[in-house]
Every structure is written in structure tokens, then in C-alpha cells.
Amino acid sequence: MTKDPALDHKLSVSLLHPRYWPTWFSIGLLALLAWLPVRLRDALAASFANLLLRFSAKQCYAARLNIKLCFPELTQAEREAMLYRSICIGLKGFFALGEPTFLPASMFLRRIKANGWEHVETALQSGKPIIFMIPHTWTIDACGLYFTGVRLPMCTMMHSARNPVYDWFLNRQRVRFGGKVYERSAGLKPIIKDMRNGYHFFYLPDQDHGHEASVFVPLFGVPKATLPALPKLAKLSGAIVLPVLATYNESTYCYELQIRPAMEPYPTSDLMDDVRYMNAEIEMLLKNHPAQYMWFLKYFRSMPDGSERSYRPE
């Protein structure tokens, strides 16, 4: 019998080695922060924003470059304000990273609001699998748990973290309410199999995977190396595609899902139009929530002429 390629979430004895004790200590801190009053925790998280701006030069350079490429119409002061708010949201999300693991399930799920859930209900009535197309935002993991929390059978793909203890912690957290997580190297075959067996797919579409695997279509007017996997997967599985954004509301101190109507018609006979449509939906999702995006990732590293854009500070 072929072994299921889904990630194994059992705790290995090797992860208890003394070299990982600092990591375990940090997870203990996340457990404590999970129970801290949210307003106090958010204020504490935001107090580190200026420190991060000062000492994370490489990451902030990448974020500034991405924001400038995508929003050339903004003044420098406006771009800096977006960067600062994005950092604050990221820190608040990080300080809350223990919530999905250490809070009671009902208490945690009450902290998530799903805007546009009627689009999910309509898609479910069709009997077809759903691909939730969701770009990288700071609270993508916490919000993503809502789907399995309401008992939707889900599968997704993730890239392993460098630290094996954090990798175990995060992936165990991702399957707290069920579902499957695959390492990206497993490919799409197990995903297609699961979708044909009643699972829905949580798909992250926006990272740069290099020239060979990608086509170039605009994102915020900038040519971007984009995987053409979504229309192919939708065609093979017969799935409905719902664009979703995971956000954190700093005013209500809650997580929110922004769910848009199904992409229709999708896919079509034109692969490039389908990929352009996907990136246009990402723009629509981010239009009212630009600071939620992980601007620190190297989204535009690959360039159409075969070269690579530098993300190193000059």
C-alpha cells in the first residue's frame, strides 16, 4: 500500500534535543501570549515595530521595493506609512501565533469572522470541490483554520520551515481541526486525488517560483513570474475557485476572511487569460487591505528578460 505523502505530525524524540530548547522556550512564550488580553498583546506587539524597522534592513528593503513597484502613485511618506502598518499587523499576528494551538477551539473560532460566506455556501451546493485561492497575508494560518473548524474537509501545501520544531508546531496546528498538509515537493497528484475524494484545496498562488515554472502576467501593473497551476488544477478537478483574503482587524481585534464571488468562467481555453484573471483577483482582494500583505517576500525577483531583480540593499 502506497504511503500517504501528507506530513506526519507526530512528535519525534529528536526534537527534544537540547539544541532545540530555546525554540521550545519561545513556544512556551507563545502559549502565555495566547492568553494575554488581546488589546494588551497588540499594544505590546506594535511597540516592537520601530525596532524591526531599524534592525531588519534587508527585509524592509524588500518590502519598500515591492510597495514602490506596486503603488508608484503613492508618496514616499504614504509608502512608509503602509510599511509601518504592515509591520504592526505582522507583529500582532506573530504574537498571537499560539492562539490556534493553546486556546479552546470554540474560543479561538469565535475570534474569526467570515465575510462573504454565502459564496462558499453557493459553491458547496454545486457538489463540486472548491479551491480557496488565498494570497500571503500575515494571518493566513489563523484564518485558514476557520474552514476545517466548520468541518470542511481541506487539504493544502506548505513549504517546510527551517527550524524542525517550528515546522512540527505549525503543521500540527494547521491540522488541529482535521485536513491534510503536504510538503510542496509532493506535487499536485495527492491534491487532485483528495479533491476527487471530497476535499477542498487551500491554495497560495503568489510566490515567485522562478522563470522555468512560471509565465509572466501583471500584478499591480508589474510583470510577475506566476505559476499557471490554478487553471490547470481547476480543470483537472472540476473545482470552483473562490478568491479569499485573510486579514486582521486592528479595531475589533479579530481575524476576518474576505471572500469574493466565484471566478467565472474559470478556467477558459486561454491559459494566459486565466492566469491574468487570477492576479486581477489578488489585486481586488488587496485593494482595500494592502497593509495586510506580506510585502517582505520577493514577489518580483524573476524578470521577463531572464534576469533577477536584486532585493539586496545597495
160 pLDDT band, cuts 50/70/90, is confident
3 pLDDT band, cuts 50/70/90, is low
Cell of 71: 503603488
CB of 148 closer than 8 Å to CB of 178: yes
d(CA 108, CA 150): 12
Q: What are phi and psi of 6, to 5 degrees?
A: -60, 145
For the chain, the average pLDDT equals 95
Question: What are residue 112's DSSP bridge partners?
Answer: 255
d(CA 200, CA 118): 16
Report the SS3 class of residue 57: helix
d(CA 312, CA 296): 12
Domain residue limits, the chain = 106-292
| Section 121-134 average pLDDT | 98
57-88 pLDDT, tens digit each: 999 999 999 999 999 999 999 999 999 999 99
Alpha helices in 110-244 (DSSP H): 117-125, 140-149, 164-174, 189-196, 229-237
114 pLDDT band, cuts 50/70/90, is very high
Beta-carbon neighbour count of residue 219 at 10 Å?
A: 23
**What was the pLDDT predicted at 79?**
98
The letter for the amino acid at 143 is C
Centroid of chain to Cα 109: 18
**What was the pLDDT predicted at 161?**
84
